């Protein structure tokens, strides 16, 4: 997480390379976006492997995009209130978290809606890893750490989650005899 001393304006004052997103607070998207990316990818792969219909995948993405993201945003809000953050700050962060998560999940919905199911699975995986890599890169640059290591670390965790979802899909498929 970007701390007060890691703000882009402080980096410029310290003579460091200028932050390309001056004035943008990565904290607004850094909590919810990775969860939405990885959850969407895992859901698509797991349901596809279990031979779920296209309608089931689309409905699941919408349900996650609305219900799961709202409940996670509520959790963030309650946590921030417990940390005694000001009500405006907590509300702003909650809304930013929800909007980031909904936009990410919505992008997977659009991919799956626009393409045939088989192509949509592959495009969704590429899209998810791309989004996660870009976010990891931006966070690494803001923190002045190795972007490659952050990308490898974050995409590696996402790959493990997707693999577990695929294995779960196989197990469900075999369980119900499809």
Q: How many CB atoms lie within 10 A of CB 170?
A: 13
Residue 48 covered by a domain: yes
Residue 103 covered by a domain: yes
Answer whether 1's CB lies under 8 Å from 140's CB: no
Instruction: Name the band, by pLDDT with cuts 50, 70 and 90, for residue 162.
Output: very high
Residue range of the domain that includes 109: 26-176
Residue 11 covered by a domain: no
Report pLDDT digits (tens) over 107-120: 999 999 999 999 99
Overall domain count for the chain:
1
Residue 6 covered by a domain: no
Residue 75 covered by a domain: yes
Residue 20 covered by a domain: no
Residue 36 covered by a domain: yes
Burial of 34 from C-beta contacts in 10 A (0-12 / 13-18 / 19+): buried
Report pLDDT digits (tens) over 71-110: 888 887 788 788 787 777 778 888 888 888 899 999 999 9
Residue 21 covered by a domain: no
């Amino acid at each position: 997480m970007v701390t007060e001393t890691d703000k882009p304006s402080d980096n410029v004052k310290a003579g460091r390379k200028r932050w390309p997103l001056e004035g943008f607070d990565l904290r607004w998207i850094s909590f919810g976006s990775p969860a939405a990316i990885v959850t969407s990818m895992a859901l698509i792969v797991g349901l596809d492997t279990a031979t779920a219909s296209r309608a089931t995948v689309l409905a699941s993405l919408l349900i996650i995009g609305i219900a799961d993201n709202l409940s996670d945003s509520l959790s963030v809000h309650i946590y921030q209130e417990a940390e005694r953050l000001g009500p405006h700050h907590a509300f702003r962060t909650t809304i930013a978290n929800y909007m980031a998560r909904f936009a990410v999940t919505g992008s997977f919905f659009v991919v799956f809606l626009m393409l045939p199911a088989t192509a949509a699975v592959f495009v969704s995986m590429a899209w998810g890893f791309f989004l996660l890599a870009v976010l990891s890169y931006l966070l690494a640059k803001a923190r002045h750490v190795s972007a490659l290591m952050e990308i490898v670390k974050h995409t590696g965790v996402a790959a493990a989650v997707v693999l577990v979802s695929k294995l779960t899909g196989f197990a469900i498929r075999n369980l119900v005899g499809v």
